[in-house]
Amino acid sequence: MFLELFSFLVGFILLLLVFIIFFKQKNDRKLNIFFLTLITIAGLHRFVFGLDYFGLVNIDYNVSDTNLKFTFFLPPLYYAFFWSLLRKRLSFKRLFTLLGIAVIIVMVLYFFELSRDAKQIIFLCYSSIYLLQIIALNKKYLFNQKTLHRIHHVKLIKTWALIMLGMYLLIYIFSNYTFSNYLFDSSDVVLKRFFINTSLLWFAIALYILLNPLILYGEQLLQKELISQHLDEIPVWSKKKLLPTSSADKLVEQKFTPNLNSFFIELKNYEDQLFKNFNKVPTLKGLSIELDYPQSHIKYIFKYYSHYSFSEYLNVLKVRYAITLIKSDYLSTHTLEALSNKALYTNRSTFFKNFKSLTGYSPSNFNQKTQK
């Protein structure tokens, strides 16, 4: 009784998450439609079967047998989810192929009277192939990246990808275990056992999602946090465009807008790495190579979303680095001249002028403010 109630509540929570994701989204928020489909299916199945168990509705158990055949569509949906999460795009041709194979298998099971042993073997082989492909996909895109652009993306989604990989692995084990041990029971009993066995997994996933709003709302939420919180006393970026887009920049805007949120995150990570070994400031071409974005896209972002030009931004980087040194108590053992040189200024007066212009304080006054 308790397990059935728990499964029913998990179904309700998952459907509630679907409602939040679907109805609270904005046009510029990124959603993985395959993930949304997976939690909808998981929530709907558990919720409906819970209604049936508690006698609130009466389900025709012929539907249960159909649902067993429908499970052949779940592995390709998981694969599509990982592909979209790790590579960001899944072609229609590839998706059509994945679902087409599932349709063929279901048609074979529908028109031919195969034994349950045969069905179990088919599902075991079928799900095992997808398991190996999903593991290979995660290994390739989580652990074998070399470009900074891809490395930053991996940092953002690695934990979530590994959690979902573990989720699929456990569902693979539970599904094959359940179908083997309840092979000669009715279809509704098989599904009931499967839903109960996997409800704890889905509850853990739902809890993780609720504790990580980024999954619910996409990269825009993180972008907003970066812009509003990681300022180092110098507001560089605007949440909204600072001026209307000119006709000459329309094409670049169309290409770059889908990557706008990712750019801010990757630039933030690039700056963090730069400050660990601050021996030179980037050129426009160098930044383009490091972030793996065309120079035209970087020019666009500085023109419409930055309070500073690119050359001014380089001064911001120098001053921000000087600020990190001051906050780490650098001036307790070094002179202002050394701080100026460390921030890559060859002229001390230029350093003082830029520092006060950007922060409102001289370096020594800022140091006193920090110490207080």
249, 291 contact by CB (below 8 A): no
pLDDT of residue 297: 92
* DSSP letter (8 states) at residue 184: T
Q: How far apart are CA 114 and CA 117, in angstroms?
A: 8
Return phi, psi of residue 240, to 5°: -125, 160
**Model pTM above 0.85:** no
What's CA 99's distance to the chain center, in Å? 24
Strand, coil or helix: 335: coil
Question: Could you give the 3-state DSSP secondary structure of residue 36?
Answer: helix
Residue 272 Ramachandran class (φ > 0 left, ψ -120 to 50 alpha, else beta): alpha
Torsion angle of C-alpha atoms 357, 361, 362, 366, degrees rounded to 10: -140
Q: So what's the pLDDT on residue 322? A: 93
* pLDDT score for 153: 63
pLDDT tens across the length of the chain (372 residues): 777 788 888 888 888 888 877 766 544 445 568 888 888 888 887 887 777 777 776 655 444 444 556 778 889 999 998 988 887 677 888 889 988 999 998 888 878 877 777 877 888 899 999 999 999 999 988 887 655 456 656 766 788 889 889 989 988 888 787 766 655 555 556 666 777 778 888 888 888 877 876 666 554 444 454 444 443 457 788 878 888 999 999 999 988 888 887 788 888 888 888 998 899 999 999 999 988 899 999 999 999 998 889 999 999 999 999 999 998 989 989 999 999 999 999 999 999 999 988 888 889 888 887 776
Q: Which two tokens stand for residue 14?
A: 């998952």
Q: Where are the domains of the chain?
A: 2-217, 222-371
CATH class of 222-371: mainly alpha
- Residue 296 has, within 13 A of its CA and on its CB side, a CA count of 10
Residue listed under structure tokens 């192939």: 129
Site of tokens 């409102």: 360
306 strand-pairing partners: 237
- Tell me the per-residue pLDDT of 181-228, one tens digit each, with 9 for 90 and over: 655 555 556 666 777 778 888 888 888 877 876 666 554 444 454 444
Strand partners, 237: 306
**154: exposed, middle or buried (C-beta count within 10 Å: 0-12, 13-18, 19+)?**
middle
Burial state string for 115-138 with b = 16 or more CB within 10 A and e = fewer than 16: eeeeeeeebeebbeebbebbeebb
Q: How many residues does the chain have?
A: 372
Cα–Cα distance between 224 and 86 in angstroms, integer?
A: 22
In terms of phi and psi (left: phi > 0; alpha: psi -120 to 50; beta: otherwise), the region of 225 is alpha
